[in-house]
Amino acid sequence: MNNTYVTWDCFHQYFGAQLVAAEDVYDGMVRNGLSDNCMVELDFSFISDEKFKLEKLSMFLKEHYPYSIEQVELQEDEWVLRGISNEIPITAENLLYWALDLYKRGYEFDSDLRDYGGAFDPKNQQKPTIDASMDDYYFDAGFACYEKGDLSGAMINWSLSIACQPDNPDSYYCRAIAKSEIYIWKSALRDYDQAIRLVPNFTDALVNRGSLKDDNGDFHGAIEDYNKALSFGNLALEAEQMIYFNRGNSKFNLGNKKGACEDWHKSYDMGYNLAKEKIEKHCR
């Protein structure tokens, strides 16, 4: 969809405002007596300039999220879509994940996330069980959410898994992947850092962290991660192909065309066909 209502520039410009808005909503709930991990259903609304955009968003949310979605309505000169989430354990981070996930989903359908919040009884706050025995349950629930496309549900469940077992590197790794998809890259890097601290030879985490560093202009840091991953040896073919290809990209971004071409050729010789385009464009 070519966005005309919420353009990429608009989405990017107001991304920071979404962080502030989530913090404000959370602070307001705390002032009303909320304690962390209280289970709350959140009501929300999207607006757009055309009905069909919200109808497509509605269909997507119904398919991928356990939410109750209302009919699209015309309100003054804008179309409005309202819904209610499933019960979510509210913390500052969880609310942020949830809001940024929906903000991104809205953008994908040229729609804008607007008001959201949730009511709760401060004297009767239900909370999820947090103990080591629940680690696998929350991890698996997070994976199920992620496979379905519910990014915030995935991150929230992986956060619960981490609360149950802070030394589980897989939960940090998976949460980092989902964080990257909602553009909170610094937070994703911190999760990759923790996963690698727990398992120094966590090759997939090193490769993903390297790619994320490259995306954010830290080309030297990316190459360090790729080199470290290669140093462990015994890599799967697909992993080695990707590492050489990605390291070639980082070297090229640093102006090292010779080194980049050497890495792209290695990747291509191993069977990674996407490297052929780089070679033909830059290595003649």
pLDDT in tens, 77-131: 899 999 999 999 999 999 999 999 999 999 999 999 999 999 999 999 999 999 9
pLDDT digits (tens, 9 = 90+) for 127-143: 999 999 999 999 999 99
Distance separating alpha carbons of residues 123 and 77, to the nearest angstrom? 41
Q: Residue 81, class by beta-carbon neighbours within 10 Å (0-12 exposed, 13-18 middle, 19+ buried)?
A: buried
Same fold, 129-199 and 203-284: yes
For 51, how many CA atoms within 13 A lie in the half-sphere containing its CB?
7
Match 């040229």 to its residue by tokens. 110
How is domain 129-199 classified at the architecture level of CATH? Alpha Horseshoe (1.25)
Per-residue pLDDT tens for 213-270?
999 999 999 999 999 999 998 889 999 999 999 999 999 999 999 999 999 999 999 9
How far apart, in Å, are the Cα atoms of 202 and each of 101, 181, 277?
27, 21, 29
Write the CATH number of the domain with boundaries 203-284.
Answer: 1.25.40.10
What residues does each domain of the chain span?
A: 8-117, 129-199, 203-284
Query: Residues 156-192: pLDDT tens digits?
Result: 999 999 999 999 999 999 999 999 999 999 999 999 9
Provide the 3-class DSSP secondary structure of residue 41. Answer: strand
Given a contact cutoff of 8 angstroms between Cβ atoms, the answer to whether 192 and 205 are in contact is yes
Place of tokens 């790729």: 226
Do the Cβ atoms of 191 and 211 come closer than 8 Å? Answer: no
Query: What is the second-level CATH architecture of the domain 8-117?
Result: 2-Layer Sandwich (3.30)
Question: Given a cut of 90, is residue 25 above it in pLDDT?
Answer: yes
Q: Taking the model in full, what pTM does it have?
A: 0.93
Residue 46 has pLDDT above 80, yes or no: yes
The CA distance from 53 to 132, in Å, is 43
Asked if 85 contacts 154 with a C-beta cutoff of 8 angstroms, the reply is no
- Identify any residues that bridge with 116 across adjacent strands, giving them in sequence order: 44
Reference 102, options 92, 114, 87, 120; nearest CA is 114
Classify residue 218 as exposed, middle or buried by CB count within 10 Å of its CB (0-12, 13-18, 19+). middle
State the Cα–Cα distance between residues 55 and 169, nearest whole angstrom.
39
User: What is the reported pLDDT for 11?
Assistant: 96
Is residue 1 over pLDDT 90? no
